[in-house]
Structure 1
Amino acid sequence: MQKKYQAIVIGSTGLVGKALVNQLCQDERYESITCLVRAPLANVDYHDPMQKIKALVIDFDALQDYQGYFSVDHVYCCLGTTLKSAGSKRAFRRVDFEFVHVCAQLARAQRAKSFVWISSLGADAKSKNFYLRVKGELENAILTMPQLSNAAAVRPPLLDGVRKEHRPGEAFALKVLKILGPIMKGPLEKYRPVRPAQVAHQMIGLQVF
């Protein structure tokens, strides 16, 4: 009999998070998907005919209190915000570094088989760009964490998807990159916008089965 896997998804309401949960629902290898969320999930966003999703509304400032839920095979972390949405560099770092780092620590404590999270193309701890520097610092912190089995980060470029919040700068960049797409080849190909489903698929592919 084929082994069935259990997963936990942190950040299941964003572009990649939704795509990921929907793909996990259709993946016969998984029997349950626990989603830690700030607010109840909108059922219309998810196709879950086998009723695999178990959503739990939590206080992210007290992530440690939910350590037991990380006792699964695979941990997926799709948490992320923007400087504008966060309101300050400190608040941004709280979400994009501290929360994700705590999730990695909890995955290690519960001996999850693997931990996969979303970083960013260009992540570099020495970058002058604050966003990329935080992402790079997080990669260094997680990938050097002792006794954390099979940790891996995906580094997507700009995401091509419909967001609830309006991001004018991102929308403009996306429009330009779509126009330039056909000539972005070779070293430039990695900068082409990607669909959230592509990132989700990559994340699943990085897990250990």
Structure 2
Amino acid sequence: MKQLLLVGATGLVGSHVLRKALDDASVARVVAPTRKPLPPHPKLFNPVTDFHRLPEGAEWWAVDAVICTLGTTIRVAGSQAAFYKVDHDLPLEVAYLARRHGARAYAFNSALGADTGSSVFYSRTKGETERDLQAVGYPSLTLVRPGLIGGPRQESRPMEKLAVGVSQLVKPLLPKRYRVVPAERIAHHLLQAALAAAPGVHVLPSDALI
């Protein structure tokens, strides 16, 4: 049985990962640091955490695998710098701390179009995060690249909601890689990658997630 660290447990994809992990018999414990307490569960350890000052010496970093579903938008974050902190710096900081404490697998929810050379700030940030995660030295690293993510969000993302609606209308005409990917499917692949911990770097494109 494995111990997992899940960061981003309150988000759309992360909440699905949390539910699946808690229901999985092969998972002994889920460590899910959040800003506000989660509903209790016998397998859940939920340290209330200040993500601006992660506790480097906390014992709960010692897990078998990490799943990272952290992500925001520039509109919600308030600036490109704040967005970069959430979508690049925090996933990297978590990766280093968990690896230092013995974690061997890391599964990251990235995005379609992630590319360090992209002229689009969002895609370039995701590409830089993927690149820098590979330098951390995890024996197993999985990069999941969904396109539009389907499912109800707690925070308002009107443009994304509009894009998802349009995509659903023209679904038969869209190439599979551009179709909406249900959050539950992304969560499934993230969890399976973390538990399998297959050696090497693995990229799961959007069309492989549906």
The match for 2:69 is 78
SS at match of 1:115: strand
- Which residue does the alignment assign to 1:20? 17
1:11 and 1:204 map into 2 onto residues whose CA distance is 13
| Partner of residue 155, structure 2 | 165
> d(CA) in 2 for partners of 1:165 and 1:8?
23
Give the gaps of 5 or more residues in structure 1: none
Is 1:141 aligned to residue 128 of structure 2?
no
Aligned pairs for 1:34-53 within 5 A: 34-41=31-38, 43=39, 48=41, 51-53=42-44
- Give yes or no for the alignment of 1:179 onto 2:169: yes
1:67 and 1:110 in contact (8 A); partners too: no
User: Is the partner of 1:102 in helix, strand or coil?
Assistant: helix
| 3-state SS of 1:62 partner | coil
Q: CA RMSD in A?
A: 1.4
- Aligned 8 A contact 2:56 2:97 in 1: no
Q: Output aligned runs, 1:57-96, within 5 Å.
A: 57-65=48-56, 67-96=58-87
Structure with the bigger percentage of helix: 1
User: Contact 1:101 / 1:142 at 8 angstroms: preserved in 2?
Assistant: yes
Identical-pair percentage: 34
| Corresponding position of 2:193 | 206
> Structure 1 residues 30 and 10, CA, compared in 2 at 3 Å: closer, same or farther?
same
Map 1:101-140 → 2, pairs under 5 A: 101-140=92-131
| Paired residue secondary structure (2:56) | helix
Query: Aligned residue for 2:90?
Result: 99
Shift of 1:128: 0.6
- Residue 77 of structure 1 deviates from its aligned partner by 0.9
Runs ≥4 residues deviating over 6 A: none
**1-structure distance, mates of 2:102, 2:176:** 37
User: How many angstroms does 1:107 deviate by?
Assistant: 2.1
Q: Which residue of 2 aligns with 1:54?
A: 45
Equivalences, count: 196
Instruction: Decide which of 183, 197, 203 is 1:196's aligned counterpart.
Output: 183
Distance 1:153 1:66, change over 3 A: farther
Aligned counterparts of 1:100 and 1:66: Cα–Cα separation in 2: 17
Paired position in structure 2 for 1:153: 143
- One-letter amino acid matched to 1:175: G
The 3 A distance-change label for structure 1 pair 198 and 89 is same
**Structure 2 counterpart SS, 1:31:** strand
The letter of the residue matching 1:192 is R
CA spacing shift, 1:66–1:58, aligned 2, 3 Å:
farther
| Structure 1 letter corresponding to 2:88 | F
Shift of 1:148: 2.1
Shift of 1:144: 2.8
